Amino acid sequence: MGRYTGPTTRLSRREGINLMLKPIRDETGKNPLEREYKNYPPGMHMWRRGKSSDYAVRLREKQKVKRHYGLLERQFRRYFALALRAPNTGEELLRILERRLDNVVYKARLAAGRRGARQAVVHGHILVDGRKVDRPGYLVAVGEKITVRKREKSEKYARAQMALLEGVSNPPPQDWLQVDPAKLEATVLSLPGREHVLIPIEEQLVVEFCSR
């Protein structure tokens, strides 16, 4: 199955929380979760759903993580395998996901949302330490500098994206990133922590689901 290209707000409704997939729409109060007539899971039979089983609760938590970061199942499993090497698998998994290049571009406010950040990376607008990296899943390291490519097309795209975020509070400033909006660049000062995840996640439930 390929990447999901349908309505993103449908994903938020399914998980019952705002996954912050459209930061601009969320800021204007147009998220369907804020409207009483849309504040329920999608589907015509939502009213028949009863209490979720333990399996369903853990599955939903895993899906929440995947959808927030825009991952496919194989990508998610690969990151989970990396996180298994750490003493605290759950926190390490979230730290790894925060280090993804598309997430860093989004958190540095160089793109209006992860979809815009992913497009910027794939289209070659982003450089890491002066070299082009077109893989959204590239994991940044401490000390690396993420910059917008020095060409008119790339800079025009980045500034247009940044203009959309004027007056928008999400994502908030990240203390692990040093951002220079004028130069269209960001430097990784340290590895992100558990507190930098923007949505409520019970990572232990994710670990339990993937370790069963």
Three-state DSSP class for residue 104: helix
Cα angle 38, 202, 117 (rounded to 5 degrees) comes to 70
Q: 102-193 sits in which CATH class?
A: alpha beta
CB 183 within 8 A of CB 158: no
| The pLDDT value given to residue 4 | 73
CB 112 within 8 A of CB 23: yes
The domain at 8-97 falls in which architecture? Orthogonal Bundle (1.10)
28-56 mean pLDDT: 63
Domain boundaries, the chain: 8-97, 102-193
| The pLDDT value given to residue 1 | 44
Please tell me if the domain spanning 8-97 has the same topology as the one spanning 102-193: no
* Residue, of 48 and 60, whose pLDDT is higher: 60
Name which of 14-28, 143-157, 182-196 the model is least confident about: 14-28
pTM for the whole structure: 0.85
Distance CA 63, CA 71 (A): 9
> For residue 76, what are the contacts with CB-CB under 8 A and spacing of at least 6?
62, 65, 66
Give tens-digit pLDDT for 127-136.
999 999 999 9
Distance CA 143, CA 48 (A): 52
CB 105 within 8 A of CB 162: no
Instruction: Answer yes or no: is pLDDT of 211 > 80.
Output: yes
Confidence grade of residue 165 (pLDDT, cut at 50, 70, 90):
confident
